[in-house]
Amino acid sequence: MILSSSARRVLAVLTWAVLALIYVPLIVVVFNSFNTNQAMTWPPDGFTLTWWKRAWESQGAREAVLTSLQVAALATLTALVLGTLLAFALQRFDFFGKSSVNLLVILPIALPGIVTGIALNNAFKGIMNVELSLLTLVVAHATFCIVTVFNNVQARLRRMGGNLEEASSDLGAGIWTTFRLVTFPQLRSALLAGGLLAFALSFDEIIVTTFTAGIDLTTLPIWILNNMFRPSQAPVVNVVAVVMILLSIVPIWIAQKLSSDTQGVQ
């Protein structure tokens, strides 16, 4: 379909308007993290690194960062194992109810976070009678992190086909030898991309976390929510938000690069 010049201009204006709506507030947060005025007036009154120093010295912020990193790492590791196994099961084998299982696997990422959070809270406290803790939080995050790994691995398995694995088997290689020398090298970038996306999702998740974390467990998003309306902490919250932006951009950018890499996959 060929668009007229006026239609292209309208689409360009709409595209830039949407991008501005998304990114201008983020740019404001970045500038306010260096604003000398604690009230965060705009435009900034001056440049200072005071808030960055206070954020670095904040024990609560440091502990929240470590907690978020720990939860994200454990949830990502769980998602890598379970998501990969599910992708192999649904891509390599045919069985009754396969389409239903596929739907159930991807459903958690489509459900509103508050619904997932309430459901998991009821399951942990009402059905299993388990106290909310780091373990329940990791399990909760893994439920939606699995989807990103599953989608990446399943897409790669579809593109790979089974010809190389069959050839390896015909040449006498066992299952594990074939996986180690043939299958895994072709899956590495997909696994890394899925893992990075899962890590980014877990690191900044707040809704499900609110319902599944213990009262003594504070992740970075929860720390930000608890402090953003305190006047003395607002500039520090801006600094922490900038750090979160950077920590989220890097894995997503790497994952995008890896996902677009098609070398060696036919």
- How far, in Å, CA of 89 to CA of 121, rounded? 29
Helices of type H across 58-183: 59-92, 98-110, 113-121, 134-160, 163-170, 175-178
pLDDT value at position 265? 43
Burial of 254 (0-12, 13-18, 19+ CB in 10 A): middle
Task: Answer yes or no: pTM beyond 0.75.
Answer: yes
Residues of the chain with pLDDT under 50: 262-266
pLDDT value at position 242? 85
pLDDT value at position 266? 42
Tokens representing 12 are 């360009």
User: Domains, the chain, ranges and CATH?
Assistant: 70-259 (1.10.3720.10)
Which DSSP string do the residues of 50-86 spell out, in sequence order? HHHHHHHH-HHHHHHHHHHHHHHHHHHHHHHHHHHHH
